[in-house]
Amino acid sequence: MVRLAAAIAALALGYLVAGAIGGAIPTNTAWRPPAHGVRIFVETNGVHTGFVMPKVAAGVDWRDLAPAGDLGDPRYGGFDHIVIGWGEKAFFLETKTWADVKPGTVLAAAIGSAHTLMHVEHVPEPAVGPEVRAVVLSEAEYRRLAAFIAASFRPGGARYPGYAGYDVFYDARGRYDAVATCNAWTGDALRHAGARVGAWTPFPATVMQWF
């Protein structure tokens, strides 16, 4: 039992160290925020990261992909920004609050799950702070980011009620595990857009430290 506990501790430590190293290795090193472009936000709740974007900008219109009619309260659809993040299905649906987090759910997601969701919220433009960072992308970069995010939605997939009247879940593409985490997805999207970000960003800090 002691050896097993030591092995688990070593594995966890190795994972943390590998994530910190991966998050510190820059990609798209020549990237600099343009003077003019589309202002988006990268946000975290301490565990997950995601994007806050204007509903309509640079030829991208999120209202068709995530219409207000899908919300529990369509009035929230009047807000001008949308939050989109990717994650494991059971974790999303079974953890409405942090008090609902179950070790078994976390472990199952880390081992691997082919069931993933997009979490979408309709919100006003957020204020910048420790958990919300503003990022300016060129219009071309923003369109690449939007294409990556849109491709993560599963065509013809199901829709699930959100936690409140302003949010909703949609079936997603992709497999979740300890390597391909929700935060790694955020980093992948930014890297695809051409922004400077870490080579592997499994933790919120490995994303947020770049902005």
Tell me how far apart the alpha carbons of residues 101 and 128 are, in angstroms, rounded to a whole number.
Answer: 28
Q: Give residue-wise pLDDT tens across range 113-167.
A: 999 999 999 999 999 999 999 999 999 999 999 999 999 999 999 999 999 999 9
Rounded to whole angstroms, the Cα distance separating 159 from 94 reads 15
Separation of CA 13 from chain center:
24
User: What are the distances in angstroms from CA 65 to CA 9, 60, 74, 151?
Assistant: 43, 11, 15, 11
According to DSSP, the β-strands at 38-44 and 132-137 are: antiparallel
- Tokens representing 129 are 């702070």
Total structural domains within the chain? 1
Helix (H, G, I), strand (E, B) or coil at 9: helix
**Per-residue model confidence (pLDDT) at position 6:** 72
Q: How many CB atoms lie within 10 A of CB 5?
A: 9
Average confidence score pLDDT of the chain: 93
For the record, the structure tokens of 17 come out as 């160290």
What tens digit of pLDDT does each residue of 16-74 get?
899 999 999 999 999 999 999 999 999 999 889 999 999 999 999 999 999 999 999 99
- Sheet of strand 167-171: strand arrangement: 132-137, 38-44, 49-54, 81-88, 116-123, 167-171, 159-161
Domain hosting residue 15, numbered range = 2-208
Q: What is the pLDDT of residues 88-100, one digit of tens each?
A: 999 899 876 656 6
Both tokens assigned to 90: 């059971």
57 vs 51: CA distance, rounded Å:
14
Is the per-residue pLDDT at 106 higher than 80? no
